[in-house]
Structure 1
Amino acid sequence: MTSRVSEYIDALLAAPGLGGQVAHHRVLQGGAARYADPARPLPKALRAVLAARGIERLYSHQAEALNLARSGRDVVVATPTASGKTLTYNLPVLEQCLADPGSRALYLFPLKALARDQLKGFQELTALLPPQALRTSGGLPPAAAIYDGDTTPHFRRKIRDNPPNVLLTNPDMLHLSLLPNHEKWAEVFANLTHVVVDEVHTYRGVMGSHMAMVFRRLLRICRAWGANPVFLFCSATVGNPAQLCQRLTGRDVTDVTRTGAGTSSRHMVFLNPLEGEARAVIQLLRSALARNLRTIVYARSRKLTELLSLWVQEQSGSYRERISAYRAGFLPEERRGIEQRMASGELLAVISTSALELGIDIGGLDLCILAGYPGSVMATLQRGGRVGRAGQESAVVLVAGEDALDQHFMRHPDDFFSRPPEDAVLNPFNPAILDRHLECAAAEMELRPGEPFLQEQPMQQAVHSMLALGRLFEVVRERSGGDGSPETIVTGIVGRRKRPHRNVDLRGAGRSMHIQDRDTNKEIGTVDQHRACKETHPGAVYLHRGAPWLVDDLDLDAGVVTAHRQSVGWYTRVRGSKTTEILEVEQETVICGTRVHLGRLRVTEEITGYEKRSVRGGRMLGLVPLDLPPMVFETEGIWFLIPDELRRDCEDEYLHFMGGIHALEHAAIGILPLLVLTDRNDLGGISTPMHPQVGGSAVFIYDGLPGGAGLSRQAFAKAEELLRSTHQTIAGCECELGCPSCVHSPKCGSGNRPMDKAAALFLSARLLDRPAPPPAPRIAAQPKEETMPVVDPKRFGVLDIETRRSAQEVGGWNRAKLMGVSIAVLYDSAEDRFFDYEEHQIGELVQHLQTLDLTIGFNILKFDYSVLTGLSDFPFHTLPTLDLLVHVHNRLGYRVKLDNLAQATLSAAKSADGLQALQWWKEGRLDLITEYCRQDVAVTRDLYLHGREHRHVFFTNKAKQTVRLPVEW
């Protein structure tokens, strides 16, 4: 009997319109399951649980993973969706809990919905445990609980006070709550036997860099509590699962990649629409709804998701209430409701971004429609794996967009099916991320020189740099040296702040911006800071659940976007410009007729305005200027040199050279995801006819987020393949003048101008045919920014004043000029003596100050100079001044008293305080005030001299530790 899915595919192939647009159709035949027994039989209780679930034997990959986990080895299972990966970690964890009810496991999921699914699954398993297996635990099955942002404060306390055997959470809660408060979670960390990391393939790129540090911090805390847990990873079918997990943790990980699960047959259809992907998707979805097929539509962007949802609201008729959009920007309660309605069957179709790519349980689906190639073989398999999970026949329809990759596979479908899944890449020591996590680690627990956490070379280099910059500080103590003299030894390293964690966004592009309704102040959704200037600038059209919102204001400092609901017939796209500096050249190579370099870049991107384009047809309606701060970041990139003779040859052929290299840049970025697991939106590019550092023309391609994600490094290793694929893409496109399938980019800041496809084809062909260039002089990298050398003044003075009246008496510190002067003491280094000035002698003091190369004080800028302005018209702020308090505050981020610094650095202390000096003034004891003021000046002078000689001073922090503070004065 023909299934509904087969009927749907037959109707599609026979359709007068869409049928002729099908570029390829094949049926992937299902396969039989392969089973195996673990090396050691499972306990009877767990065998009973599996039998109750109808599982007689384990799949071969489940048995292999169980063997590895039992032996204490870290393991990653990378098999297709619906292959039973959950059992690969639940079985060893349950076995451990039955053997030792005091053991604990930590489960990490990238989405809250996944944690809820897994909690339900875990509890269903434990409910099947026979009573006799629970004798050692008092008759209670192993407990599990979710600890995330939705957990109420009451239940958070209960979970902390009585932690379950299995704690399910997410990376953000691990980073923000568990690790900073590890003392409160001592029972978990001291007894932690397993760490489960689901959907580990999502931890790549910038988030992967963050997670590499989070996992290292987790292992550090575990070591401190005496635990060494086994890591159990689950992943989609990436090309390098073991390498990915090794980079994330710094530990050896064994992979299990050959699935034993059976599969059902699946139709794969590649459709190349004539009238745009959105129209074709709507036709396919309408037909699926008519056949009652449970369908998921994946759109590549939030905007397309919302545009498709808009069609649903306007034209889907009776199906309107059975279709919904789904994306990450929705509020948690919105997403949860959609998931529940989909799982129950109330919803027949859902239109989603990648947010539903992961293994959230939304029931058994029949059809997956991909609105555009997802950007990788891995993502295509992962999204397609959401259908047919119940063992029924299923179908995946890939509707091509205009992008180069989409069109490549429409022309070469066999290339898709022959390609292995791509490697997942990340930079575990991204410098833009590493420093912030070191601050977090130092706040969690004092860093110790030589501890395992700091053994990797990049960690040591980062700590050294942060100590020099005053972002980390050495804790010191004195001991007797071999000759009996005191010597200072470093006992640890601490940070500036007690809780730096909230300033670290694991999603990597800055903090989240909250989008609010202008009229009600109700939150509409969120957007990360890196995308905010491009997607929620003033005037932008922001789509949420099919409804258009017009952005009124973007407040980057406050982290708030304000918008109001308004129906408009246009969408917006930003325009801008970019420049780049080469900071460091790491590698270079010769490919074909040119040189390619890999290095560190500084990119400056300016958003100068935005286009208003009609929703119907994309016609330009206007260009509106914007005034936004430039985005400046350092990253990794590669660049191809374009020899000057090729420029001349190009111009001799009357081709537009700048348009040619611009087209080459676009085509290379568009085709690069064929070679590297990324999306073109993760990449940036700049083409320049004259770059001063290379002395000629160059095409730059770089990682689009601060610090780099490792994408450019992988691209550098495949530079020749990239150049050849770029040429083939341009040459193979049937357009005459250039189009989105070859050289146009949907995110070009200059509106794809200038653009010359013929010039790009000419240049790429010549580069491939040209002989290798001769050796070239080394590129002059941009010099690193160095701090200005500290010049010791020949004659300096140290000033301190005592007042006649208190701040309370004059009406506040802002009226300091009314406080008067009882005595002002100035130490002059040229005379090596103190000078005393009473209030009637302030004119003489001013003359003395003007003879100095530098005036030094402690809070001199805000206090001493303010008091003196009430007695003199002289502009004291024009004097060369060093305020030690300001310098220390800038280093630490908070104020430290002079007495604290003096005692820790000089073993000296103040003899009195300001209140005592005021009382002496009332008693007429100017002699005592002068003596006290002179001592303050002497202490300030000696503190300055110590810092000048040793380049550091000491202070005592709130933990009563003596900390070394680097200074430059």
Structure 2
Amino acid sequence: MEFKKSLESILLSLKNSQEFNEQIVHWHTIPSREAEYVNFPLNIDMRLKEALEKRGVSQLYTHQHEAYQLAKQGNNFVAVTPTASGKTICYNLPVLQQIITDENSRALYLFPTKALAQDQKSEINEIIEEMGVQINSYTYDGDTSPAIRQKVRKAGHIVITNPDMLHSAILPHHTKWVSLFENLKYIVIDELHIYRGIFGSHVANVIRRLKRICEFYGSTPQFICTSATIANPQELAETLTGTTMNLIAKNGAPSSKKHFIFYNPPIVNKPLNIRRSATLEVRRLAGEFLKNKIQTIVFARSRVRVEIILTYLQQLIKNELIKKSIRGYRGGYLPKQRREIERGLRNGEILGVVSTNALELGVDIGSLQVCIMTGYPGTIASAWQQAGRAGRRQGEAVILMVASSSPLDQYIIQNPRYFFEQNPETAIINPDNLVVLVDHLKCAAFELPFKEGDTFDGLELEDILQFLAEERVLYFNNQTYHWMNDAFPAHNISLRSASQENVIIIDQSDIANIKVIGEMDRFSAMTLLHDEAIYLHQGVQFQVEKLDWEEKKAFVREVNVDYFTDANLAVQLKVLEEDETYVKDHAVFGYGDVTVQAMATIFKKIKFDTHENIGSGPIHLPEEELHTNSAWMSFQSNMIEDLGEKRMEESLIGVANVLQHVAPLKVMCDPSDLHVVAQIKAIHNDKPTVFLYDRYPGGVGLSKKIHETMRPVLSEALRLIDQCPCYSGCPSCIGVEGSSDTSKKDAYLLLSILKDEANVSKT
């Protein structure tokens, strides 16, 4: 009979393994903690109390009790507690109590993903069933059938949806939702920390539109928000909702003992400080737990990486039953597949899952024991969310963070104190971004006309409304601005990406059964769905036979090859207008409007396991143009004379590479939201320049924040280079392989000059 090790014995053998120990940078054990309880408030309906007791909730945690009291007093609040701390009761309890008291009351629940909405619907419906009270709770999303939609609009006490559906399907058709808007008492916004950057800026405007419609129907709902740990939850909640918020930050929930292990793969090339692939190390470590039937979740940072790790694990494990119980999970899978995987994780049929951050949120996926992160997820908040997926119910849990050679991963792995002691990042949104604001004003005008002197949740609008009237988008008559276009504006405005349309992925492997297997945003499609790209889906390889850019369709066919593809993006940047500039002795610091031209150029074929380049080819796609904001730093031209043009160019690329990894840490954004480009001769001033720009039309305030806090950003960049053990530069610091012996020293020198002069008495 096959012997299976327990989690404790695997941990013990890892501790005793010299090979494993040599790669452990830090082993941090978080002790378990006891719960802090309070009895149910006296005014809770007995049926609700008994239903919760049947589900094992006989008392409330302190934060749940505080949430209930604030809600009953009519206050808006944001609750910030860790994963699996019972945040759903913070809103379900006051909402259900209110509907029992007044059956006309309504509540609107907003979740950032459909998966989370489905999960929460199941939970609240189980409580309602136990209570035996006639309360209708429905999800309203793209998967809701037309027959049920009418029922939801007429009779839904609790409508569970996502911001995209609220924006494009509910608000524009508010006349069909009169009973909801007239009686709306609570608006619940879960996973608040997700609403940052461009998505958050869009959603803040959707909330402005929602409040305007509520006011029209005579309701003033309360806001209840919940969030993972971020530095500014109250500020974010207030900016997002435009209301004053109370903060609940003291957690009363218990937690299991957790082992947080920072693992750095071994160095395979000492001169270049290149480490063994994090993907291959994750395969080995996850394989060890899965072979012993220990339920494990592996997080990867991209769709491609998810599919690669899934392929590796299925090849590694010989036991057919275990192999079948390892699945992938990411955006682009169809809803039915995702529901099936979530259910399998809860009931234990699925032993292992490889996921993007789609499963980072609070979907109940049962009691996983091990969480393995392939690289640092990009923010401390995300890392803690992913870690929270393990040990949610009881017993010990293991969290392994496996670093890649990227500068950001190496910085985090070598500075565990930064991770465990640093305040979490600040979430930034800019609801007044002109591009975003104008889009939502069009939607708002379609929903209800604007009268002269009206504001948009306090924001003065006259100039913008006059502009839209001049552009013949609005019609001004009798002191009122009316929508005058046939088109329906919300349909063309995406809340989540710069591009408005997704590319549909069509599998034509079987001509008799052609089917849609997924979708992808346009910007990602440029590098992932070009002709000849290898697209991976549930561990199956597909080759893109044709990308029809006009029709937004990618036609794929199943193949079996031993490589995957990776594509390059060429970027050109020009300054349109300088808003702020300050000149120092050796450098010039600026901020303003820029235009960016991006083009996918070539793709490489990379062999599985060895990761060597085995071929390449051109990509023929049109250029994408972007008008946005950027911060920049230019060196005075005598620096080129001192270093020489070749050395200057190499060191500039090194500086850009370090900043690309360090800057997003400071502004809590995905590295892909903030791009860094180096130019040896910038078009606007002929000086060697490094640009940091927001990758979204009009910007969302990321580069502005960098411009205002440039010195600490540069300090972190210097520390990263300083701590890297390589001699002349490597992918873990300046990112330049095989460059001259002075590259690392030169990049350090340039960053030192910038740091000494940044944010010092602007002249």
Same fold flag (TM > 0.5) = yes
Q: Work out the CA distance in 2 between the residues paired with 1:267 and 1:772.
A: 40
1:406 aligns with 2:406: no
1:703 aligns with 2:684: no
Aligned mate of 2:238, from 243, 246, 260: 246
Instruction: Report the AA paired with residue 277 of structure 2.
Output: G
Residue 678 (structure 1) aligns with: 669
1:441 aligns with 2:444: yes
- TM-score under structure 1 length normalisation: 0.73
- Provide, for residues 88-143 of structure 1, a one-character-per-residue CA deviation record: whole Å limited to 9, x for no partner: 101111111111101111111122222222122212222333x7xxxxxxxx4322
Residue 429 (structure 1) aligns with: 432
Instruction: Report the AA paired with residue 105 of structure 2.
Output: S
Q: Work out the CA distance in 1 between the residues paired with 2:557 and 2:238.
A: 47
The residue correspondences of 1:250-329 to structure 2 (distance < 5 A) are 250-274=242-266, 275-318=276-319, 319-329=322-332
1:559 aligns with 2:562: no
**Distance apart, 1:471 and its partner CA:** 2.7
Instruction: Report the AA paired with residue 397 of structure 2.
Output: S
**Distance apart, 1:288 and its partner CA:** 0.8
Q: Work out the CA distance in 1 between the residues paired with 2:334 and 2:584.
A: 49
Q: Work out the CA distance in 1 between the residues paired with 2:739 and 2:216.
A: 55
When structure 1 is superposed on structure 2, of 685-694 and 206-215 the one drifting more is 685-694
- Provide, for residues 523-566 of structure 1, a one-character-per-residue CA deviation record: whole Å limited to 9, x for no partner: 12111012111211122221111222221222232121122222
Computing the radius of gyration from Cα coordinates, the structure with the larger value is 1
**Distance apart, 1:714 and its partner CA:** 2.3
Distance 1:59 1:565, change over 3 A: same
Q: Work out the CA distance in 2 between the residues paired with 1:619 and 1:685.
A: 26
Instruction: Report the AA paired with residue 202 of structure 2.
Output: H
Aligned mate of 1:618, from 594, 608, 611: 611
- Provide, for residues 575-605 of structure 1, a one-character-per-residue CA deviation record: whole Å limited to 9, x for no partner: 3432222233334457896342222221111
Q: Please state whether the residue corresponding to 2:418 is helix, strand or coil.
A: helix
Q: Work out the CA distance in 1 between the residues paired with 2:432 and 2:759.
A: 34
**Distance apart, 1:85 and its partner CA:** 0.6
Instruction: Please list every run of 5 or more consecutive structure 1 residues that lacks an aligned counterpart in the other structure.
Output: 132-139, 477-488, 777-969
Instruction: Report the AA paired with residue 314 of structure 1.
Output: Q
Equivalent pair of 1:404/1:741 in contact (CA under 8 Å): yes
Q: Work out the CA distance in 1 between the residues paired with 2:231 and 2:582.
A: 26
Q: Work out the CA distance in 2 between the residues paired with 1:447 and 1:772.
A: 43
Residue 81 (structure 1) aligns with: 83
- Provide, for residues 294-351 of structure 1, a one-character-per-residue CA deviation record: whole Å limited to 9, x for no partner: 1111011111111111112322111211111111111111111111111110011101
The residue correspondences of 1:691-730 to structure 2 (distance < 5 A) are 691-730=682-721
Aligned mate of 1:337, from 318, 336, 340: 340
Equivalent pair of 1:295/1:368 in contact (CA under 8 Å): yes
Q: Please state whether the residue corresponding to 2:591 is helix, strand or coil.
A: strand
1:100 aligns with 2:93: no
**Distance apart, 1:419 and its partner CA:** 1.1
**Distance apart, 1:57 and its partner CA:** 2.8
Distance 1:151 1:576, change over 3 A: closer
1:368 aligns with 2:355: no
Instruction: Report the AA paired with residue 552 of structure 2.
Output: G
Residue 272 (structure 2) aligns with: none
What CA RMSD, in Å, does the superposition of the two structures yield over aligned residues?
Answer: 2.5
- TM-score under structure 2 length normalisation: 0.93
Residue 123 (structure 2) aligns with: 121
Instruction: Report the AA paired with residue 178 of structure 2.
Output: A
Residue 145 (structure 1) aligns with: 138
Q: Work out the CA distance in 2 between the residues paired with 1:584 and 1:33.
A: 56
Residue 270 (structure 2) aligns with: none
Q: Work out the CA distance in 2 between the residues paired with 1:434 and 1:389.
A: 40
Q: Work out the CA distance in 1 between the residues paired with 2:419 and 2:503.
A: 38
Equivalent pair of 2:234/2:245 in contact (CA under 8 Å): yes
Q: Please state whether the residue corresponding to 1:713 is helix, strand or coil.
A: helix
1:579 aligns with 2:563: no
Q: Please state whether the residue corresponding to 2:698 is helix, strand or coil.
A: coil
Equivalent pair of 2:326/2:353 in contact (CA under 8 Å): yes
- Provide, for residues 898-945 of structure 1, a one-character-per-residue CA deviation record: whole Å limited to 9, x for no partner: xxxxxxxxxxxxxxxxxxxxxxxxxxxxxxxxxxxxxxxxxxxxxxxx
- Provide, for residues 631-670 of structure 1, a one-character-per-residue CA deviation record: whole Å limited to 9, x for no partner: 111112211121223332222xx96101111110111111
1:634 aligns with 2:627: yes
Aligned mate of 1:540, from 533, 553, 568: 533
1:206 aligns with 2:193: no
When structure 1 is superposed on structure 2, of 195-204 and 53-62 the one drifting more is 53-62
Instruction: Please list every run of 5 or more consecutive structure 2 residues that lacks an aligned counterpart in the other structure.
Output: 267-275
Instruction: Report the AA paired with residue 758 of structure 1.
Output: K
Residue 562 (structure 2) aligns with: 569
Residue 514 (structure 1) aligns with: 504
The residue correspondences of 1:768-779 to structure 2 (distance < 5 A) are 768=755
Aligned length: 744
Q: Work out the CA distance in 1 between the residues paired with 2:430 and 2:740.
A: 34
**Distance apart, 1:43 and its partner CA:** 3.9
Aligned mate of 1:764, from 738, 748, 751: 751
- Provide, for residues 181-219 of structure 1, a one-character-per-residue CA deviation record: whole Å limited to 9, x for no partner: 111110111111111111121111121122111111111
- Provide, for residues 699-724 of structure 1, a one-character-per-residue CA deviation record: whole Å limited to 9, x for no partner: 00111222323221222232101111
Equivalent pair of 2:453/2:462 in contact (CA under 8 Å): no
Q: Please state whether the residue corresponding to 2:621 is helix, strand or coil.
A: coil
Q: Please state whether the residue corresponding to 1:312 is helix, strand or coil.
A: helix
Distance 1:770 1:66, change over 3 A: closer
**Distance apart, 1:8 and its partner CA:** 2.3
Distance 1:758 1:158, change over 3 A: same
Distance 1:705 1:112, change over 3 A: same
1:732 aligns with 2:723: yes
Residue 668 (structure 1) aligns with: 659
Residue 422 (structure 2) aligns with: 419
Aligned mate of 1:496, from 477, 485, 488: 485
Equivalent pair of 1:610/1:623 in contact (CA under 8 Å): yes
- Provide, for residues 822-854 of structure 1, a one-character-per-residue CA deviation record: whole Å limited to 9, x for no partner: xxxxxxxxxxxxxxxxxxxxxxxxxxxxxxxxx
Between the aligned residues of both structures, percent identity stands at 34
The residue correspondences of 1:349-388 to structure 2 (distance < 5 A) are 349-388=352-391
Equivalent pair of 1:592/1:772 in contact (CA under 8 Å): no
Aligned mate of 1:234, from 226, 239, 253: 226
Q: Work out the CA distance in 1 between the residues paired with 2:742 and 2:330.
A: 34
Equivalent pair of 1:37/1:60 in contact (CA under 8 Å): no
- Provide, for residues 789-821 of structure 1, a one-character-per-residue CA deviation record: whole Å limited to 9, x for no partner: xxxxxxxxxxxxxxxxxxxxxxxxxxxxxxxxx
Residue 889 (structure 1) aligns with: none
Residue 733 (structure 2) aligns with: 742
Higher relative contact order, structure no. (Cα contacts within 8 Å, ≥ 6 residues apart): 2
